[in-house]
Structure 1
């Protein structure tokens, strides 16, 4: 009897080379450097960053020149304040570009009153909505996600994120209970732990909804410092809160075994915002890839391009 192992693909986000939220972090690093180094390490795909061309044919040529596939791209949503129709109109060009590259997931972050973009705004002051607001939000998000799936074959992955209305375990629970099945969950390991919940617990509760995985690790002493000092999100990043998988305190062997047991066969994306002057992007990209590859294989995955 022929046995076909579950497969996984390993990709990366360009944020280790240059940070769109804080352009002074790697702002002068050429896109060519990011792509060539990602390919050199062995990544098969990359998420979109602010330096990427937004014209489909040009983007395809640039990525193909490095043997890389576009995985997805961040979209800053505002369905707290917008109708699903308005969001659809605004997101159209981005969705069309993702579809042209064969992407299957949209990285959707709710950025209404986006406190994480303010460098020194304490994380404790993040925006909140009540149960009535969450019900209305979930309905609009579901309507938008239904349309993404129907018209482009793209699954919306809601990106829980520090400084947004979807940050804590309770936020994730509320949204997953209210939103329709077209709304998938982007499991971000670092934002889970920073938001006060172990990513393995999120996987236990909502594993069937996980459609995309961002792999960042957390330095426990820096997380404690960020909580005690109530730092802003980007302040905490500059203090070294995040790093690549295997360089922090998250239990990736258990997490990947859990993903494997659930039948997850999407992307594992290394996404660890750091100061590139402190954490050499090529060195850390290699550390993250090597660790994820080794750990995924131990969990029973085959790595594919």
Structure 2
């Protein structure tokens, strides 16, 4: 399988105050030691901003770069997201994974969009998709808790109103009320990138119902090593592979760290368990 890593599995996140942020040297070394061949970029500042220096750091750990998570405001008629997109294209050769950001810090709340904001969002998604194609690049939309594309109704509205390819994030879909197995089956030709998460469905329901914040739920173990949660990961992989999916499966288990984990523990152990599970699925 084409399996890559993501720094968020080591608690490295763009949200201010998210938790302890591990140094890139240790994170990349642990990715390498787990046998992973590639990673997503991580938040701005995690790796060097100069592309040559960044690629040298990755190469020194035997890692390639598969893409970057790019949160940007897409629904505001007064905001032009294209400069953000062009800067991301200039610095990353892989997949651009868009999140329709609210413009606020964090993922614990979001505005409701009016008709004009929805029209702006959908028009921007199509314009960015065309911009990517003109540059020979791939862009995907990542449904994400705390963004303006979060709930099942949002997912269906974008599916029907835009041609943008999708990043199937199994965890964020479930937390937002969308069955990822359904989306894998219904929209397989649109899926161009995958984030694999497993989820405690009970905690996910509490987030969806507003009983607990998203950040608190992540801190409390919302995301589980693959096979330890309630998502049918093998079924999703079988569906995508059967539909001819040729992209990456990015291992993501968002976590909030309270301090530096012991060697071989914490994120390293969780990702190792997930990779063992995937090896069984592949067999």
Could you tell me the TM-score, scaled by structure 1's length?
Answer: 0.83
Q: Counterpart of 2:137?
A: 154
Q: Is 1:138 aligned to residue 103 of structure 2?
A: no
1:202 deviates by 1.1
Structure 1 contact 226–236 (Cα < 8 Å) conserved: yes
Distance (Å, rounded) in 2 between the aligned partners of 1:172 and 1:132: 17
Structure 1 contact 215–244 (Cα < 8 Å) conserved: no
Structure 2 contact 122–161 (Cα < 8 Å) conserved: yes
Aligned residue runs from structure 1 range 30-41, under 5 A: 30-41=23-34
Q: Counterpart of 2:58?
A: 63
Q: Counterpart of 1:290?
A: 276
- Give 3-state SS (helix, strand or coil) of 2:144's partner: coil
Q: Counterpart of 2:148?
A: 165
1:114 deviates by 4.0
Q: Is 1:202 aligned to residue 183 of structure 2?
A: yes
1:91 deviates by 2.6
Structure 2 segments unaligned to the other structure (5+ residues): none
Q: Is 1:176 aligned to residue 176 of structure 2?
A: no
Q: Deviations over 1:9-33 (max 9, x none)?
A: 1011111222332555232x21010
Aligned residue runs from structure 1 range 253-268, under 5 A: 253-268=234-249
Q: Is 1:111 aligned to residue 101 of structure 2?
A: yes
- Give 3-state SS (helix, strand or coil) of 2:165's partner: strand
Q: Counterpart of 1:214?
A: 195
Distance (Å, rounded) in 1 between the aligned partners of 2:103 and 2:52: 34
1:244 deviates by 2.8
Aligned residue runs from structure 1 range 81-92, under 5 A: 81=76, 86-92=80-86
Q: Deviations over 1:264-299 (max 9, x none)?
A: 01110111111345870110111122212321x14x
Distance (Å, rounded) in 1 between the aligned partners of 2:170 and 2:223: 10
Q: Deviations over 1:189-230 (max 9, x none)?
A: 001110112100111221110010001110133224444562
Q: Deviations over 1:19-48 (max 9, x none)?
A: 332555232x21010001001111111011
Structure 1 segments unaligned to the other structure (5+ residues): 1-7, 299-305
Query: How many positions carry a matched residue from both structures?
Result: 275
Q: 1:195 to 1:211 in 2, by over 3 A?
A: same
Distance (Å, rounded) in 2 between the aligned partners of 1:221 and 1:264: 30
Aligned residue runs from structure 1 range 183-198, under 5 A: 183-198=164-179
Structure with larger RCO (C-alpha < 8 A, sep 6+): 1
1:82 deviates by 5.0
Distance (Å, rounded) in 1 between the aligned partners of 2:239 and 2:20: 35
- Give 3-state SS (helix, strand or coil) of 1:42's partner: coil
- Give 3-state SS (helix, strand or coil) of 1:71's partner: strand
Q: 1:173 to 1:35 in 2, by over 3 A?
A: same
Q: Deviations over 1:241-273 (max 9, x none)?
A: 112321211111111110111100111011111
